[in-house]
Chain A
Amino acid sequence: MIALQAPVEQATRIGEPNAVAMAFFFGFISITLGITWWAARRTRTTEEFYAAGRTITAGQNGFALAGDYMSAASFLGIAGLVSTTGFDGLIYSTGWLVGWPVVLFLIAEPLRNLGKYTFADVVASRLKQTPVRIAAAIGTLATVTFYLIAQMVGAGGLIRLMFGLNYETAIMIVGAAMLAYVLFGGMIATTWVQIVKAVLLLGGAAVLALMVLSKFGFNPVKLFAAAAAQYGDGVLAPGRLVSKPLDAVSLGMALMFGTAGLPHILMRFYTVPDAQTARKSVFYATGLIGFFYLMTFVLGFGAMVLVGPDAIKAVDAGGNMAAPLLAETLGGTPFLGFIAAVAFATILAVVAGLTLSGAAALSHDLWVNVARGGHATPGEQLRVARFATVVLAVVAVMLGITFKGQNVAYMVGLAFAIAASANFPALVLSIFWRRCTTAGVVASMVIGTAATLTLIYLSPTIQIDILKHASAPFPLRNPALITIPLSFAIAIVVSLVTSNVGEQAAWARVEREMHTGH
């Protein structure tokens, strides 16, 4: 039995302007804008704007993938869930990692070999360009929109809590900084912003985890034992977060297969020179992200023991301030400021990555390949890409303001459900299955998106929690359990019915290209 004093009730400085947070925050903004200025002078072609000139190394891309992936939902959300519910938060820690091996085994190398800028390049490689690209753009924009809402809402809430700024101002700052990165620096700046952010986030979380462990003889098991001693053995067992078994399975499916359908992640594989580098970069990314999620075990239980669930919920009902509160308890106001700035940088970088992938869908897929039939001059492509970036930045800010107060982790879970149902089946089948047809993948992407959105609307979260109805027509909170198999089934059935000899004949060329790159 470990002797432990109860968490001391103390006044938190969260919500007051914090000089250290401001200093770190402006430091981060200055460094990243410096990077953007440097990158802008190297961004003259479409290939540089979308794919950083394909010069990113495996190590750099590993960090950039990790940076794009570890959003505020991972850092603040998981720490908050674990500190207030115990074990159940860890379902996210594992679920958000297991998608990466799937990306490595099935997607990364063929994607790099077959495509140029977007995942639609791969699906369209032997099918009809126009319908495939329109359908893929629908799936991409739906995923990006839900993901953006989650990040913008998270950013607004976080900055309000951290710096005492009002919500709308905070959203505008995020929108403006992100716009500067993407508009002027394109993928080169966005990649380096991700790398800087990943190093800061991993470093900040590691320092915080070490400070927690130093109180428990550097033995995580002693920390877990302390949590169990204080709040009961129940905190180490599955409990109330996923009360219905099928909810757990459905969420698990969305998390595992959603990663392989996230447009901003898939786009990163085009920034490296070849498939071999793409493969190695996923290996590094899996290592970094796994390491980070293992640390969330320590941060979550650390906040539970050292801060206490009640004190965490008093600041933010969703528990999202657990990690910053833990930092304040262990390192005082300066460390709180540092962790707050890290969390903010995290959101800003993810928003930039999302916007770039949305801009690529609008300009590369819809404008250049559909509206202009693939015949746009390089100058026009770049102009349209930048215009699309501005449009998306404005939309992101408006969505952030409209959806104020929504649950962040839940919105990200839905973005994963859309990615897993709309994009993943079409992408996998177009890579693996000779007989899949244009009609098959288009039906799968369009119906996958529509079914996911419909079932989300009919779910208890919208019907009971938000609209306050007595019951919901659809019982699951995350629709992936239904929509992923549905989307696969539609692609297969429609492909078999619309069997196309010409598209099958092109398979030999595509199969060779996906392995050799030419």
Chain B
Amino acid sequence: MSTAGTDAAFQDLARRRWRIAIVLTIVMVALYFGFILLVAYNKPLLGRLVSPGLSLGVLFGALVIVLSWITTWIYVRWANVHYDPALHALRSGDHK
């Protein structure tokens, strides 16, 4: 059974994980709905050409995909480097 001390430490770790998860979720929602709202309400802006053949719309669309990669990478990186070892330490504490 876990002790009160490891429970507090665990609560703290769980809170940190949710904070990061929720912040990253909000970032993704903001990015994607930013894009969708531009599609819905500002078509001329997205039609503006950055260079011949490259409109802001196509550029932003590709950027949304690339930024999805980056946010998932940030999360996985954080979880592998900080979350897993902390969780492991707490769990081995449990079994003592």
Contact = CB atoms under 8 A, between A and B. Distances in A.
Interface in B10-54: 10, 13-14, 17-18, 20-22, 24-25, 28-29, 31-33, 35-37, 39-41, 43-44, 46-47, 49, 51-54
A286 B75 CA distance: 13
A46 to B, nearest CB: 28
A90 B91 contact: no
Nearest to A219: B53
B52 A228 contact: yes
A160 to B, nearest CB: 33
Contacts of B72: 100-101, 104, 282-283, 286
B48 to A, nearest CB: 8
B52 A225 contact: yes
Contact of B57 (A102, A236, A249): A236
Interface string B46-80: 11010111110110011011101101110110011
Interface string A219-257: 001111111100001101111001001101100100010
Contacts of B33: 249, 252
B47 A297 contact: no
B55 A233 contact: yes
A395 interface: no
Contacts of B18: 432
Contacts of B52: 221, 225, 228
A276 interface: yes
Contacts of B76: 104, 279-280, 283
A102 B25 contact: yes
Interface stretch (A9-17, A452-460, A509-517): A509-517
B25 A106 contact: yes
Nearest to B79: A279
A283 B75 CA distance: 9
A97 B68 contact: yes
A95 interface: yes
Contact of B39 (A104, A242, A432): A242
A489 interface: no
Contacts of B47: 233-234, 236-238
Nearest to A514: B14
Contacts of A294: 62, 65
A252 B33 CA distance: 7
A249 B38 CA distance: 10
A515 B32 contact: no
A226 B53 contact: yes
A38 interface: no
A238 B46 contact: yes
A238 B65 contact: no
A290 interface: yes
B53 A94 contact: no
A249 B61 contact: no
B57 A238 contact: yes
A318 interface: no
A98 interface: yes
Interface of B: 2, 10, 13-14, 17-18, 20-22, 24-25, 28-29, 31-33, 35-37, 39-41, 43-44, 46-47, 49, 51-55, 57-58, 61-62, 64-66, 68-69, 71-73, 75-76, 79-80, 84, 87, 90-91
Given A98-B32, A234-B47, 18 more contacts: A90-B57, A93-B61, A100-B68, A101-B28, A102-B28, A104-B72, A105-B28, A106-B25, A221-B53, A226-B53, A236-B49, A238-B57, A242-B39, A249-B33, A279-B79, A515-B14, A516-B87, A516-B90
Interface of A: 87, 90-91, 93-95, 97-98, 100-102, 104-106, 221-228, 233-234, 236-239, 242, 245-246, 248-249, 252, 256, 276, 279-280, 282-283, 286-287, 290, 293-294, 297, 432, 511-512, 515-516
The 4 A-B pairs at the shortest CB distance, nearest first, are namely A225-B53, A237-B47, A245-B40, A236-B55
9 contacts: A94-B65, A95-B32, A98-B31, A222-B53, A225-B54, A236-B53, A236-B54, A276-B79, A516-B91
